């Protein structure tokens, strides 16, 4: 691709960043670019206020997408979608009785968002180039290019991106690309009252997260773990990663996501062999004799 | 210190073997079991407890519509394999069959283009498909394939019907015959290059299944429209395509293991069972009815219908695996457990 940002091939591994992971912006063709920016969402301090959901909607002019009670929990947003770019999950967990424990339930709250994957399935499969990699290493949809083919929707291992009924196009979190360009932090991080949502250069966030999870574990939270912080995981690490207090699937997250395009060489190989088989069949038919 | 329920406790709690603490409230994240769908498999696929967020899907169901997209899979296969049949039939002197196959290819690819554009959220922007060429996007590759293939299939059919520019027509026939297999099989990449477990995990078998199914469709069209004596290559194509499809489907289901469940149950299961019966029946009719016009035509219709049902079945089975979180979570959790992490 002549212009930066559109190189999709996740399987063509390229330049590495400082901690051994891929540098998505450099791989996308930005010779000189700012540090990779991202989110560290520390769910251990989330209070479920949903300020992030509101701030995101307000700043990005994301339309209303249903004001209904689910009846399942305090979560009436249900999940990420074309018109929900931050989503706060609420989990009420019964806790095992221990002598000095307060009775009953522990609350898990977590603000979910697009992971801005290092190896990004939605970006890889987008046939129009509407999805592109920014100089900050994030993944953004261009509204004026997307033709609503919907391929990205099925390619995301997290169920983040979706097609909006009203305009037929795919939408998701932009990590406030416009605010980043102006040197501001994303609206959700700005609005978060507990600093559960932290924004910054990804390598700094990873350092901070490692310290935080060590502190929590030392304090007895032995279920605390980081999710998508590892550049060696199935998506090459997330530009947005999380500190969770239970297994990912408890929060609606896949426990071991792998970007679909890692298997593309194998997929194309088998398509090629099958097509070659058809060509050979055709040639064999051609040499059959008319009886 | 309150000890949150670790996984061990949660995993066994549903079975009622070690229930401790307060009873779980009704509205807490679902813990369900992935059961082996088929009784004969129960020894192979053990029950597995898993956790999800209120039973909500982890991935989004693809935004692709029914019947647009499965219909496109069928029509694209019919067109691509018909071009192969046309080229082969023309070379071996079956002119009537070649003509039918060329016209069929043109008709099918035109209809499939309509289905594709109709499925876009912004149909007026369909030309944006040709802004870039991305090998990482099967849809991009497919768009370029169709752009090259469509006019060739059209030229082949028009030249044959009108007798205009026979040399160019022969070249177009050969070109469509070479690109047709790509058109017929790239759709397997289209489905498999997604996070949908029931498609992705079958990516090593799906292309052969689609090639076989496309062959059946093209053979079926030939047998349906041309007398048995003049449909020799179509019959041959059916005898190659139908077994290939049946074997590929078996291998696909074996590969998918526990996530093959939707391929064998519910509506997609019924579609695929009907498809299999029609494929076997169509193959038998094509071979045994080689001297009987009615039997041969019926066999052709069976093969055509079988191909369509196969595509709808595969498509809808995949959607089921996207809708139910167990198909996403359980295989990933097993993978993690095997690696001894978490």
* A196 band by pLDDT with thresholds 50, 70 and 90: very high
% of chain A surpassing 70 pLDDT: 89
* B4 band by pLDDT with thresholds 50, 70 and 90: very low
Q: Would you say B236 and B107 are in contact if contact means Cβ atoms under 8 Å apart?
A: no
B20 occurs within a structural domain: no
> pLDDT tens digits, residue range A216-249?
999 999 999 999 999 999 999 999 999 999 999 9
Q: What is the C-alpha to C-alpha distance for residues A45 and A204, in angstroms, rounded to an integer?
A: 19
Query: B137 and A250 in contact by Cβ < 8 A?
Result: no
- A-interface mutation test, from B105, B118, B136, most A Cβ less than 10 A away: B136
* A66 band by pLDDT with thresholds 50, 70 and 90: confident
B9 occurs within a structural domain: no
Q: Which of residues A19 and B280 earns the better pLDDT score?
A: B280
Q: Would you say A237 and A134 are in contact if contact means Cβ atoms under 8 Å apart?
A: no
Closest CA of chain A from B183, distance in Å: 9
One-character DSSP codes across B86-132? HHHHHHTT-HHHHHHHHHHHHHHHHHHHHHHHHHSSSGGGGGGGGS-
Q: Where are the beta strands (DSSP E) in chain B?
A: 31-34, 48-51
Residues of B whose CB is below 8 A from A223: 4, 6
B207 occurs within a structural domain: yes
- Check pLDDT > 70 for residue A16: no
* CATH number, domain with residue B229: 1.20.1630.10
- Check pLDDT > 90 for residue B33: no
B155 occurs within a structural domain: yes
pLDDT for B36? 35
% of chain B surpassing 90 pLDDT: 83
Q: Would you say B84 and B191 are in contact if contact means Cβ atoms under 8 Å apart?
A: no
DSSP-based three-state secondary structure for A72: coil
Query: B57 and A9 in contact by Cβ < 8 A?
Result: no
**Residue span of the structural domain in which B122 resides:** 61-321
| Chain A contact for B207 (CB, 8 A cutoff) | yes
Cα A40-A51-A144 angle, rounded to 5 deg? 75
| Chain A contact for B185 (CB, 8 A cutoff) | yes
- Check pLDDT > 50 for residue A133: yes
> pLDDT tens digits, residue range A227-236?
999 999 999 9
Question: What is the separation of C-alpha B69 from the centre of its chain, rounded to a whole number of angstroms?
Answer: 10
Q: Based on the structure, what is the number of domains in chain B? A: 1
Q: What is the C-alpha to C-alpha distance for residues B5 and B7, in angstroms, rounded to an integer?
A: 7
Window from A134-143, B17-26, B124-133, B162-171 with minimum mean pLDDT: B17-26
B41 occurs within a structural domain: no
B308 occurs within a structural domain: yes
ipTM value greater than 0.95: no
Q: Which of B4, B85, B137 sits opposite A285 (nearest CB)?
A: B85
Q: What is the C-alpha to C-alpha distance for residues B59 and B332, in angstroms, rounded to an integer?
A: 13
> pLDDT tens digits, residue range A75-122?
999 999 999 999 999 999 888 766 565 668 889 999 999 999 999 999
B336 occurs within a structural domain: no
B339 occurs within a structural domain: no
Residues of B whose CB is below 8 A from A127: 129, 132, 134, 137, 139-140, 143
- Check pLDDT > 50 for residue B71: yes
Spell out the residues 6+ positions from residue B127 whose beta carbon is closer than 8 angstroms to its own. Answer: none
Q: Which of B211, B193, B233 is nearest to B93 (CA)?
A: B233
């Amino acid at each position: 691709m002549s212009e930066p940002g559109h190189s999709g091939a996740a399987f063509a591994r390229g330049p590495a960043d400082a901690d051994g992971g891929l540098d998505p912006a450099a791989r996308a063709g930005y010779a000189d670019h700012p540090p990779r920016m991202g989110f560290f969402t520390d769910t251990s301090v989330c209070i479920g206020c949903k300020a992030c959901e509101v701030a995101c909607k307000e700043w990005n002019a994301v339309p209303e997408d249903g004001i209904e009670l689910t009846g399942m929990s305090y979560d009436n947003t249900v999940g990420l979608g074309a018109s929900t770019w931050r989503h706060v999950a609420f989990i009420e967990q019964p806790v095992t009785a221990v002598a000095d424990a307060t009775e009953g339930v522990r609350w898990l709250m977590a603000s979910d968002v697009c992971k801005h994957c290092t190896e990004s399935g939605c970006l890889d499969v987008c046939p129009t180039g509407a999805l592109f990699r920014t100089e900050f290493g994030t993944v953004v949809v261009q509204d004026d290019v997307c033709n609503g083919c919907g391929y990205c929707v099925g390619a995301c291992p997290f169920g983040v991106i979706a097609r909006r009924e009203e305009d037929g196009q795919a939408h998701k979190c932009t990590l406030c690309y416009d605010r980043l360009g102006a040197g501001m932090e994303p609206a959700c991080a700005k609005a978060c009252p507990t600093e559960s949502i932290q924004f910054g250069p990804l390598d700094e966030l990873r350092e901070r997260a490692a310290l935080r999870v060590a502190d929590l574990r030392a304090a007895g939270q032995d279920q605390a773990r980081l999710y998508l912080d590892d550049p060696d995981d199935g998506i090459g690490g997330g530009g947005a990663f999380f500190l969770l207090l239970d297994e990912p699937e408890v929060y609606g997250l896949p426990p071991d996501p792998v970007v679909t395009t890692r298997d593309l060489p194998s997929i194309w190989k088998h398509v090629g062999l099958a097509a070659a088989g058809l060509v050979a069949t055709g040639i064999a038919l051609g040499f059959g004799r008319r009886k | 210190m309150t000890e949150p329920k670790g996984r061990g406790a949660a995993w066994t709690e549903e079975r009622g073997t070690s229930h401790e603490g307060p009873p779980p409230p009704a509205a807490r994240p679902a813990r369900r079991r992935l059961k082996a769908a088929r009784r004969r498999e129960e020894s192979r696929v053990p029950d597995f407890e898993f956790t999800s967020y209120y039973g909500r899907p982890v991935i989004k169901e693809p935004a692709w519509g029914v019947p647009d997209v499965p219909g496109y899979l069928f029509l694209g296969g019919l067109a691509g394999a018909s071009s192969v049949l046309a080229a082969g039939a023309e070379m071996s002197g079956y002119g009537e069959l070649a003509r039918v196959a060329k016209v069929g290819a043109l008709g099918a690819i035109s209809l499939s283009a309509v289905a594709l554009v109709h499925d876009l959220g912004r149909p007026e922007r369909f030309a944006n498909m040709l802004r870039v060429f991305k090998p990482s996007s099967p849809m991009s590759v497919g768009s370029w394939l169709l752009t090259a293939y469509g006019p060739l299939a059209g030229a082949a059919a028009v030249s044959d019907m009108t007798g205009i520019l026979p040399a160019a027509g022969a070249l177009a026939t050969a070109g469509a015959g070479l690109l047709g297999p790509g058109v017929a099989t790239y759709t397997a990449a289209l489905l498999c290059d997604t996070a949908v477990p029931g498609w992705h995990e079958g990516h090593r078998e799906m292309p052969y299944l689609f090639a076989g199914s496309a062959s059946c469709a093209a053979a079926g069209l030939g047998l349906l429209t041309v007398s048995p004596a003049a449909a020799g290559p179509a019959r041959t194509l059916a005898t190659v395509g139908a077994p290939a499809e049946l074997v590929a489907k078996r291998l696909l289901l074996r590969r998918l293991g526990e996530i093959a469940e939707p391929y064998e149950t519910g509506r997609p299961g019924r579609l695929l069972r009907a498809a299999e019966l029609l494929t076997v029946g169509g193959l038998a009719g094509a071979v045994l009815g080689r001297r009987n016009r009615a039997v041969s035509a019926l066999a052709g219709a069976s093969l055509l219908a079988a191909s369509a049902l196969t595509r709808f079945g595969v498509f809808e089975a995949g959607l089921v695996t996207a809708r139910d979180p167990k198909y996403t979570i359980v295989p990933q959790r097993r993978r993690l457990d095997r690696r001894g992490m978490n």
